A = this chain, B = another copy of it.
């Protein structure tokens, strides 16, 4: 029933997963006590085709499509802290970002449940389990994983960076590549931000945790929702929001220019009302580099510092932490699932404590 080459491939992946489970057994031994867990769709819109529904003909006339919602899986530990953590994935990713790491260890979902936080994991509209969009799209199975290996700063393919905080075995890389999933239809930032706004409207005050592409959308979400109490952002990408007239010039890099966003001061001020912390990992060049996988992060880190300065100039509380500058080395674009992710979680936890976001 199966092609032989697929059989061979399957054998490889099966043994990979077995390895994965073995190395993770020790840290999973402590019981997690949940008060509640569940899932729901939130936000989105409805499209309707004109006409009258005919149950025999079964054509589109008079029928609806509900789409462009976010999908959310949440868990509340017993005696949860007051503010849930809402975790939002980045480009090409989905809620898995915060789940089991490529080498089978616990990700931020479990680590912060264990720390007493309720955790909400988002699949943004048109991605993963929120795949039902309102706009047509085409899926092309593009071979592009070596680009992502570079952009995510695991190394310069086929080499891993020396001492990178990423497992070097083949099974982990297999899991890592499979934790990407395509967008279904175009990425629409307003649709995504609106769904996340609706989520905060639903659950109330909470802390937003973003990564990469959701970094920029996270700033926009904070402009729209008063219920975002704080933002923790891992390696935010494009979309830094400045007051009109204060954005830096586009920053050229070998990955393309990084362009800031401007909004009226009245909107920008919202970003000065909440504590914000940004983390970037290692292997970000200090000088222009012809490897676009790395160079794009050079200009993002540079703009992050400038952005925090402007936020703080207007009374805000934004901190940028370049992890090597505090003695934490080797992190990729995914610090929360890297080999040292417990240390990364401790830093975030300590920051939440320092802002009194850990209250029960």
Contact = CB atoms under 8 A, between A and B. Distances in A.
Contacts of A24: 38
Interface string A196-208: 0110011000000
A178 B63 contact: no
Interface in A126-145: 127-145
A40 B141 contact: no
A198 B13 contact: yes
Contacts of A220: 1
Contact of A146 (B34, B53, B254): B53
A9 B290 contact: no
Nearest to A100: B38
**Count of chain copies:** 2
Interface stretch (A65-73, A236-244, A310-318): A65-73
Nearest to A34: B32
Interface residues of A, number: 105
Interface in A87-127: 94-96, 99-100, 104, 106, 110, 123, 127
A10 interface: yes
A143 to B, nearest CB: 4
A23 interface: no
B65 A99 contact: no
Contacts of A127: 131
A115 to B, nearest CB: 15
A111 to B, nearest CB: 12
A211 to B, nearest CB: 16
B14 A202 contact: yes
Contacts of A69: 13, 178
Interface stretch (A41-49, A274-282, A325-333, A349-357): A41-49
A10 B68 CA distance: 11
A141 B133 contact: yes
A181 B110 CA distance: 26
A358 interface: no
A239 to B, nearest CB: 13
Interface string A1-36: 110011001100110011010001000110111111
Contacts of A43: 10, 13-14
A319 interface: no
16 contacts: A6-B45, A13-B69, A14-B198, A14-B201, A28-B36, A32-B33, A32-B34, A44-B178, A53-B157, A55-B147, A63-B144, A65-B142, A96-B129, A131-B182, A132-B182, A139-B185
Given A41-B178, A133-B141, 16 more contacts: A13-B198, A14-B42, A28-B38, A32-B34, A38-B100, A38-B104, A41-B174, A53-B157, A55-B157, A55-B293, A62-B146, A64-B177, A127-B131, A131-B181, A138-B138, A182-B184
